[in-house]
Amino acid sequence: MRSLQKATHQQTRLINQQLVLRSLYDQSAVSRAEVARLTGLTRTTVSDVVDGLLEAGIVEELGPGQSTGGKAPILLRVPDDARHLVGIEVGDSLLTGAIVNLRGEVRRRVEVPLDGRDGEMALARLDELIGALVEPAAAPILGIGIGTPGLIDTTTGTVRWAVNLDWRDLPLGARLSEQWGLPVHVANDSHAAALGEHTFGGHPPGESMVVIKVGRGIGAGIVIGGQLYSGEGSGAGEIGHTAIADNYRPCRCGSVGCLETLASTRAVVQRARELAPHAPESSLHASAGPERIDLDELVRAVADGDDLAREVLLDSARHLGRTIGGLIGTLSIHHVVLVGEMTRFGEPWLTAVRREAHRSALAMLADATSIEIGRLGGDLVVLGAAALLMTRELGLALSR
């Protein structure tokens, strides 16, 4: 009974601490009395919690504010660099990490190439990256947030399956946490991208959205009412490996006809390589052998109005659009944001995706839905992973 009371007491303390910290974080400068008013906690409780936060260096005193008659109250704030967050994106060929402060400002960035390495070799590269980020620490490190492709159990930080990296049932979070003595939180890269877009894309806090990351792989992150929806088993948004065609193209997941085999960067490059030898009028035909066609060249050919390149692109966009139409019907969410390497194709791709999504969803739902390309660019997953860490460790929604 006693230990139960003790546990409840600790829990109350933690909840109070999060409430106080959140009101301090959301205001630029605020007094203890104002925090008490904002949180509904007693002044004694607030003072007690603030003392702990001051001692931990997460909060600082700014000096006296405006007096409203009596003694001027001391104002408090959360310094932007009171803690640093490590955000990491495990990409297809590159590990990108950044030191991010409590306002989502990137203080330092480090990249380590994967060079096609997987399994333990990829883990060694990840260690190298973390070492380069945390060792010259300019502020206490709060922890590490990681966005990685694959099916992730976010509660334990276990990578259940990441095809490209050859990671299966890898306790990534536990392993890194033990090694670095820091809390580690792991999420699917598309989920992290969704958090990043929701946090920094200028969206209202409670907005719902689907963020679809279309690169070599395809995955979606679903934010409902401001909260990331991971689904049972954390597999929500795994749309890349839904078989949607009978083309029998083998997928790296072992299945055939997956969306990834039709709408990913890998799929369009492969399709262009297959068709270019039979299309003498295409600029891709003239390039030094179809095996040399890469994403850069395809992007250039589409921009130049090359018929073959456009046909390949629009075909892939139709498959993606149809899947999005299905999501619109399932979720009735009004914002769909597209991110990832495929967005380099820009307007012609986006227009075709929109058209097909619209055609394949109920008109009334489709009319209410915007489909846009995200504006945040490269650091989306890194920032999203940092936002996840911040929420899990401090109970704060990262904001600028």
Beta-strand relationship, 209-214 and 106-113: unpaired
Minimal distance in Å, beta carbon 252 to Zn ion? 6
Stretch that binds Zn ion, among 105-113, 257-265, 273-281, 283-291 (CB under 5 A): 257-265
Q: With respect to Zn ion, which residue has the nearer C-beta, 244 or 324?
A: 244
Locate 3 and state its tokens.
């230990």
Q: How far is CA 170 from the centre of its chain?
A: 20
Judged by CB, which is closer to Zn ion: 259, or 396? 259
Q: How far apart are CA 263 and CA 206, in angstroms?
A: 31
Longest dimension (CA), the chain: 86
Q: Is residue 251 near Zn ion by the rule CB under 5 A?
A: yes
Q: Which is nearer to Zn ion, 201 or 240 (CB)?
A: 240
Binding segment (CB under 5 A) for Zn ion, from list 144-152, 184-192, 246-254, 278-286 = 246-254
Q: Among residue numbers 355 through 384, which ones bind Zn ion (CB under 5 A)?
A: none
How far apart are alpha carbons 180 and 95 in whole angstroms?
18
**CA 65 to the chain's CA centroid:** 39
Contacting range for Zn ion; rule: CB under 5 A; set: 15-23, 173-181, 235-243, 323-331: 235-243
Minimum gap (Å) between residue 320 Cβ and Zn ion = 15
Min dist. Cβ of residue 328 to Zn ion (A):
22
Q: Helix or strand or coil: residue 232?
A: helix
Inter-residue contact 167 to 195 (CB < 8 Å):
no
The answer to whether 172 and 157 have CB atoms below 8 angstroms apart is yes
Choosing from 18, 154, 242, 255, the residue that interacts with Zn ion (CB under 5 A) is 255
- The reply on whether position 399 binds Zn ion by CB under 5 A is no
The Cα–Cα gap between 210 and 220 comes to 7
Question: What's the min distance (Å) between Cβ of 24 and Zn ion?
Answer: 46
Question: Does the footprint of Zn ion cover residue 241 (CB under 5 A)?
Answer: yes
Q: Which stretch binds Zn ion (CB under 5 A): 58-66, 244-252, 262-270, 286-294?
A: 244-252
- Please state the closest distance from residue 360 (CB atom) to Zn ion, in A: 21
Give me the least distance between CB of 88 and Zn ion, in Å please: 25
DSSP letters for 308-349: HHHHHHHHHHHHHHHHHHHHHHHH--SEEEEESGGGGG-HHH
Strands 84-90, 94-100: parallel, antiparallel or unpaired by DSSP?
antiparallel
Selected from 258, 275, 312, 398, the binder of Zn ion by CB under 5 A is 258
**Contact characters 185-224, Zn ion, x per CB under 5 A:** ----------------------------------------
Choices 7-15, 144-152, 251-259, 278-286; region in contact with Zn ion by CB under 5 A: 251-259
- Three-state SS sequence of 26-54: HCCCEEHHHHHHHHCCCHHHHHHHHHHHH
- Residue 100 phi/psi, 5-degree rounding, is -120, 140
# chain residues binding Zn ion, by CB under 5 A: 5
Instruction: Please list the alpha-helical segments (H only) found in 205-263.
Output: 260-263
Q: Between residues 87 and 340, which has the closer beta carbon with respect to Zn ion?
A: 340
* Minimum gap (Å) between residue 241 Cβ and Zn ion: 4
Judged by CB under 5 A, the residue of 74, 94, 110, 253 near Zn ion is 253
Start-end of H helices in the chain: 2-26, 32-39, 43-56, 119-134, 172-180, 189-200, 260-263, 265-275, 283-286, 295-303, 307-331, 347-360, 363-367, 380-394
Shortest approach of Zn ion to residue 164 CB, angstroms? 12
The residues near 262 (Cβ < 8 Å, ≥ 6 apart) are 244, 245, 247, 249, 315, 316, 319
The nearest distance, CB 244 to Zn ion, in angstroms, is: 10
Quick check: 266 binds Zn ion (CB under 5 A)?
A: no
Between 241 and 310, name the residue whose CB sits nearer to Zn ion: 241
Task: Note the residues at the interface with Zn ion (CB under 5 A).
Answer: 241, 251, 253, 255, 258
